[in-house]
A and B are shown apart, each in its own frame.
Chain A
Amino acid sequence: MPTRRTVPQVLDRDFLEIRARMLDLAAALDRIDRASLPSHQTPDQRLAQIRSGLEALLVPESDRAETIQRLFSLEYDPHWSKRFELPVQSGR
């Protein structure tokens, strides 16, 4: 079921929504910048996730959504079944 649309057709429909979502994102980043960081606190790991996500958006590949999903995911442990002592072949 491949897409039937051209780039201009996608932009005709989605451009304003993309613009609005970019503004939302920009405003959220400004909001974080305006907020204070408690002293003696280690950097919040979530900020690094957001920064990595923004960098991933600039990579011209067709699976950016999958990349963003993985950035916000815990890693899979291929030895999980041994850790749980369950009769499952993991890490295929």
Chain B
Amino acid sequence: MRYIDPHIHMVSRTTDDYKRMALAGCAMVSEPAFWAGFDRSGPEGFRDYFRQLTEYESRRAALYGIRHHCWLCINAKEAENVELSRQVIAMIPEFLDRASVLGIGEIGLNKNTRNESTIFLEHLDLAARTGELVLVHTPHLADKYAGTRMILDMVASDRRIDPARVCIDHVEEHTIRAALDAGHWVGMTLYPTTKCTPVRAADMIEKYGTERIMVNSAGDWGHSDPLAVPELIFELKSRGHGEAEIRRVVYENPIHFFSGCPRFVPPVMS
């Protein structure tokens, strides 16, 4: 089955992964800007990163027949540095007219601090002023519930932002309902141990349905699986769910959400 991985950090993966993903049916990926595993020394490091995302990575993916899109921001972890964050946010518009860019992301919270919240609001302001889609990272483990509620408060407080143009990512059992009820899209991240396993994601799809739900691997430089979406497809098939329902989650829903970006050209549906 052809699928889309709407959240994966391919700059951290090898070319072999592109080949395995292509063999497994991956047609498209979208790559949010994220933390590199270390704090960058200044704004020019982000300029190079944005060039890598918008120029180089799409060519690498195309060698394997995979379409590559991306999102731009300064991640929640480095957002603790407000001065650096403002310099990066000021730079983002230089890249927003590039064809592969889908919007602003993955913005969000990490430890739910005042500085992170300040920069989250300034990213939202940029998205509102430029009419961009928004992809939101929610915090890890014990911080996730409170951080997700704070994020929902902030998005709802900006009346210029249409909730249907925002995806709340990394939802789990205790955050999915609030994000869907607020009118947002949600992403479930399939990780081998933390976040959400393919089995638990299948449980949540059975409970909440397929509307406004996407699944992703969030594969990066840490313990993660770039073939996690096919794992979910296998799990749903083994439970007796039909191809059309599964295809909606792993292919049609990402296209529906991405289509809110005026630069995005949907693939011809077969």
Contacts and interface: CB of A to CB of B under 8 A. Distances in A.
Interface residues of B, number: 32
B210 interface: yes
Interface majority SS on A: helix, strand, loop or mixed? loop
B170 interface: no
B193 interface: no
B17 interface: no
Interface in B8-48: none
A72 B143 CA distance: 9
A63 to B, nearest CB: 7
Contacts of B149: 76
A75 B148 CA distance: 11
Given A86-B117, A88-B121, A66 B174 contact: yes
Interface string B161-205: 000000000001110000000000000000000000000100101
A87 interface: yes
Interface residues of A, number: 29
B150 A76 contact: yes
Interface majority SS on B: helix, strand, loop or mixed? helix
A90 B200 contact: no
Contacts of B205: 1
Given A66-B173, A86-B114, A88-B154, A13 B238 contact: yes
B157 A89 contact: yes
B240 A72 contact: no
Interface of B: 112, 114, 117-118, 121, 141-146, 149-150, 152-154, 156-157, 172-174, 200, 203, 205-206, 209-210, 238-241, 245
Interface of A: 1-5, 13, 63, 65-66, 68-70, 72-77, 80-81, 84-92
20 contacts: A1-B245, A3-B206, A4-B241, A63-B173, A65-B203, A66-B174, A69-B172, A73-B143, A74-B146, A75-B145, A75-B146, A80-B150, A81-B117, A81-B153, A85-B114, A86-B114, A86-B117, A88-B117, A89-B153, A92-B153
